[in-house]
């Protein structure tokens, strides 16, 4: 009788050990999955930030290609809004805002994201509001100080996924 009792205790210990081991494995996988999701989000955010900086640089520093693309929107290969470095051309902005949103995304080489471009005066009053409102859960915003019209302005580029 004494021998059967030891066997029962050993089996009970085995089941407790299996239960604890299974719980630890589940906890490790849950933590692993959480860290992978955070890492993926950081990588995506970094890629979005790099793309937003690249796009904003092109918009505020480049005249685009061809240089006078605003005279004929269909001729635009690259959209640039500057008449010179950080001096935004009213004509180029007007031409840009008359273009189809998807065409501008293609010309700005924005893939997999949406965007919104805002030009505001120093008092944060909107001068230009072009694009879609942010609806994604991951958003990057870049603010550049530019010269627009007769004074300083802010150009905000917002991209999201």
Q: What is the pLDDT of residues 102-140, one digit of tens each?
A: 999 999 999 889 999 999 999 989 999 999 888 878 899
Evaluated on CA atoms 148, 151, 157, 158, the torsion sign reads negative
Which residues, 6+ apart, have CB-to-CB distance to 61 below 8 Å?
A: 80, 82, 85, 86
Is pLDDT above 90 for 82?
yes
Cα 150 to chain centroid distance, Å, stands at 31
Task: Please name which of 110, 86, 109, 82 lies closest in space to residue 96, comparing C-alpha atoms.
Answer: 82
Strand pairing category for 114-121 and 151-160: antiparallel
Read off the pLDDT of residues 123-133 as tens digits, 9 standing for 90 and up.
Answer: 989 999 999 88
pLDDT band at residue 90 using 50, 70 and 90 as cut-offs? very high
- Does this model's pTM top 0.85? My answer is no
Bond before 66 cis per omega within 30 degrees: yes
Interval 67-78 mean pLDDT: 91
Question: Percent of the chain at pLDDT above 70?
Answer: 94
Is pLDDT above 70 for 1?
no
Task: Please name which of 90, 106, 157 lies closest in space to residue 130, comparing C-alpha atoms.
Answer: 157
Q: What 8-state DSSP symbol labels residue 113?
A: -
Beta bridge partners of 153: 121, 146
Is pLDDT above 70 for 4?
no
Evaluated on CA atoms 138, 144, 148, 152, the torsion sign reads positive
pLDDT computed for residue 10 by the predictor:
74
Is pLDDT above 60 for 64?
yes
pLDDT computed for residue 8 by the predictor:
67
First to last CA, the chain: 68
């Amino acid at each position: 009788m004494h021998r059967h009792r030891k066997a029962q205790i050993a089996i009970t210990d085995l089941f407790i050990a299996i239960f604890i081991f299974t719980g630890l494995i589940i906890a490790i996988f849950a933590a692993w999955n959480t860290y992978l999701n955070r890492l993926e989000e950081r990588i995506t955010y970094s890629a979005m930030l790099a793309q937003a900086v690249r796009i904003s640089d092109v918009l505020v520093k480049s005249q685009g290609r061809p240089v006078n693309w605003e005279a004929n929107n269909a001729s635009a290969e690259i959209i640039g809004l500057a008449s010179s470095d950080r001096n935004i051309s009213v004509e180029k902005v007007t031409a840009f805002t008359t273009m189809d949103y998807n065409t501008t995304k293609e010309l700005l080489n924005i893939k997999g994201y949406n965007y919104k471009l805002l030009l505001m005066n120093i008092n944060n009053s909107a001068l230009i509001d072009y694009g879609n409102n942010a609806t994604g859960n991951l958003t990057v915003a870049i603010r550049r100080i530019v010269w627009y019209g007769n004074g300083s302005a802010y150009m905000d580029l917002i991209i999201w996924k």
